Structure 1
């Protein structure tokens, strides 16, 4: 189980419930103080049970001038597996500034590589950019900027350790003032005894960082509570997309745009998985906005309430995402465009489209997508074959 304050971007299931309720917006009967106290108590008990040394920055950071006063050290994340602490990550520096200085240090339990593949350094850099987007609302871009590999030395308890470093110098985001340009982000991994330690930083060179074992976690626990409180306050000031004024949709265009973006994002994630990378969807709220516009249009055209519209669009998007994975013709062909149009019209108007058997086969497949053992999964496989066969029959009829 993973406990962290930054976005988790991997491990998504094949079908995304894109309309699910955000757990962060579900009311909690406890007060803010009670919630933060519970988090701090759980974190304290967990890290106290660590049976391996945990490292953090002991020197090398010069105090910055973050606009939000976000300077200090904090417990950033930890993960348990089978009741055992797998790794602990701490952060130091100015978390509220894209210029830094800021460093995170993740210590894995001994011989962690034997149980799982550790994240690539490129993914560690992207995790840091996810943090900046989630915490500060700054999108530094999805792709690499000017990448270079370095060999550096990081001091640990007074001794130099060699480390290979992946550094990425991002291009400034649109409209960024020159003085607030994003600092290069780097990540490196080193071995300290039998431990693996991953270090990621911005606004401070790798060679300027000195690590040491953490003897007292209390400052990090207090920092975690303070940071969670600041993030909660920032989140409370944000206007949910459901409450924003958005441009009205015209006809079925919102549905078409939602499908196009979703299928493209799904294909990108599939490519990342095949390449052995952490699957990520693009940062930014463009998808959320497009989703909300489509929901409102679905409610209007189909005379549905919000829950019904969300359910309908979730099934629609996943229908075409899966069809794109199982066929070669959905994207970039006339028949693919016709299929999208029929799925949209069936979703909105329940129209008697030519692909009606495929639409109904998908409804059955989507209803039975969860749970069960081998027998249920065999039924699911057969239902999927019937659905794909219905689409092939539709194609044959069109070409004939």
Structure 2
């Protein structure tokens, strides 16, 4: 399977030229029609605003207008090969630089694609929220939020077609917390002693910033088309076959350049001045987010869902957390940067594995005590009561025996012995 994406662009001009040429070849050889937003139609779609008397924009009814000064574009987003054949093509239209939109993504699948190979619409919505996070640094919160299933109509080459819509919008405050929130609170309490609900106001604020995003799937002459939108209703979309891909290919290059320039303007993390850290706070923060992420992914896999790292554990914030922990480890343990990085890696993997293997490791007094002892052993090489378990994990990690049954059993046995002795005192 081969996949091309514009989500993380880097490289010189010859890199862009090579991508353009290869994309022309791929799309020129496409043996099925590919659909995109009809930007010319005034009956619906995503449009730039037309000048009105007095210099103001005059939006037409039902249209989503792209504001002046926005980063409006038509761009090839991705395509994927499966078993040597082009499996699908995705294009995007609208203002990519605004979480308000309007922005529409259209993915066209090869005829005959099995229904069980299509992503759930809920995951398609999360892909769009991932895009906003990766390109704009805006975290709209992990879904699902308040969900509605709607029956709408999308016009395809002048003909209205029924489409089932999955809409995800901000939840009202006071509604029951999701399973993800409850899991996050349990982990937070386990590693930092924060009582459940202490982050409710912060989480509620994040939810209030979530923007409505919808996704729908329709069939067009035997071809499956998935449409995702923000800032524009389904009825405001009109699709048509793309006859000339050139503007989409050039639009992709333009987007890649802008994202690369955006990345280049950022100061290297190692050179930044970070907020001061007290004691072992940075170590605990890295552990909290790593354990939360690990358990969330495990839950997704159990539910037969694609594993998706929570956005709060990705990107700039995650990198800053890690850098802060490495710097503090260098200071407390008198280690080099490389040594400190390896120490933090060993610590994080120790506690995420323990959370997966021991049912007492999350949400219990024993779990909180285990975190503290691993952190102190990492920073100070302290003679903690769980020292046999610490040394057992060090052997597992340094010897490359992470999946060896005997070594794993010895490590877990050491932790169980520590737990039993702790409860007896």
Matching residue of 2:123: 123
The answer on whether the counterparts of 1:125 and 1:186 sit within 8 Å (CA) in structure 2 is: yes
Is 1:334 the equivalent of 2:365?
yes
Q: 1:388 aligns with which of 412, 415, 419?
A: 412
Q: Give the match's secondary structure for 1:112.
A: coil
Q: How many residues align?
A: 364
- Offset, 1:253: 2.2
The answer on whether the counterparts of 1:6 and 1:130 sit within 8 Å (CA) in structure 2 is: no
Q: Distance in 2 between matches of 1:274 and 1:395?
A: 28
Instruction: Tell me: CA distance 1:168–1:309, structure 2 relative to 1, closer, same or farther (3 Å).
Output: same
Q: Distance in 1 between matches of 2:311 and 2:253?
A: 29
- Offset, 1:286: 3.2
Aligned positions of 1:188-267 closer than 5 A:
188-267=216-295
Is 1:40 the equivalent of 2:20?
yes
The answer on whether the counterparts of 2:36 and 2:92 sit within 8 Å (CA) in structure 1 is: yes
Q: Distance in 2 between matches of 1:152 and 1:192?
A: 15
Is 1:364 the equivalent of 2:395?
yes
Q: Distance in 2 between matches of 1:257 and 1:96?
A: 31
Q: Distance in 2 between matches of 1:112 and 1:360?
A: 51
Q: 1:310 aligns with which of 335, 341, 357?
A: 341
- In structure 1, stretches of 5+ residues that fail to align are 8-22, 175-180, 371-376
Q: Give the match's secondary structure for 1:149.
A: strand
- Offset, 1:43: 2.4
Q: Distance in 2 between matches of 1:335 and 1:205?
A: 51
Q: Distance in 1 between matches of 2:343 and 2:143?
A: 33
Matching residue of 1:19: none
Per mean C-alpha deviation after superposition, the further-off stretch among 269-278 and 320-329 is: 269-278
The list of structure 1 runs, each at least 4 consecutive aligned residues, that deviate by more than 6 angstroms after superposition, is: none
The answer on whether the counterparts of 2:154 and 2:160 sit within 8 Å (CA) in structure 1 is: yes
Q: Give the match's secondary structure for 1:351.
A: coil
Matching residue of 1:53: 33
* Cα displacement string for residues 109-149 of structure 1 (whole angstroms, at most 9, x for unaligned residues): 223225x5322112211211121222222222223444322
Is 1:75 the equivalent of 2:76?
yes
- Offset, 1:164: 0.3
Per mean C-alpha deviation after superposition, the further-off stretch among 120-129 and 61-70 is: 61-70
- In structure 2, stretches of 5+ residues that fail to align are 49-64, 173-201, 203-208
Matching residue of 2:97: 96
Q: Distance in 1 between matches of 2:80 and 2:396?
A: 35
Q: Distance in 2 between matches of 1:360 and 1:250?
A: 27
Aligned positions of 1:178-189 closer than 5 A:
184-189=212-217
Is 1:106 the equivalent of 2:110?
no
Aligned positions of 1:128-167 closer than 5 A:
128-167=128-167
The answer on whether the counterparts of 1:140 and 1:170 sit within 8 Å (CA) in structure 2 is: no
Q: Distance in 2 between matches of 1:184 and 1:120?
A: 17
Instruction: Tell me: CA distance 1:81–1:381, structure 2 relative to 1, closer, same or farther (3 Å).
Output: farther
Q: Distance in 2 between matches of 1:383 and 1:67?
A: 63
Per mean C-alpha deviation after superposition, the further-off stretch among 49-58 and 217-226 is: 49-58
Matching residue of 1:10: none
Instruction: Tell me: CA distance 1:334–1:101, structure 2 relative to 1, closer, same or farther (3 Å).
Output: closer
Instruction: Tell me: CA distance 1:109–1:382, structure 2 relative to 1, closer, same or farther (3 Å).
Output: farther
Instruction: Tell me: CA distance 1:67–1:259, structure 2 relative to 1, closer, same or farther (3 Å).
Output: farther
Instruction: Tell me: CA distance 1:345–1:273, structure 2 relative to 1, closer, same or farther (3 Å).
Output: same
* Cα displacement string for residues 188-237 of structure 1 (whole angstroms, at most 9, x for unaligned residues): 01122332211001122112211122221111101100110111111112
The answer on whether the counterparts of 2:46 and 2:66 sit within 8 Å (CA) in structure 1 is: no
Length-normalised TM-score, structure 2: 0.78
Q: Distance in 2 between matches of 1:123 and 1:156?
A: 24
Matching residue of 2:180: none
Q: Distance in 2 between matches of 1:270 and 1:337?
A: 21
The answer on whether the counterparts of 2:76 and 2:248 sit within 8 Å (CA) in structure 1 is: yes
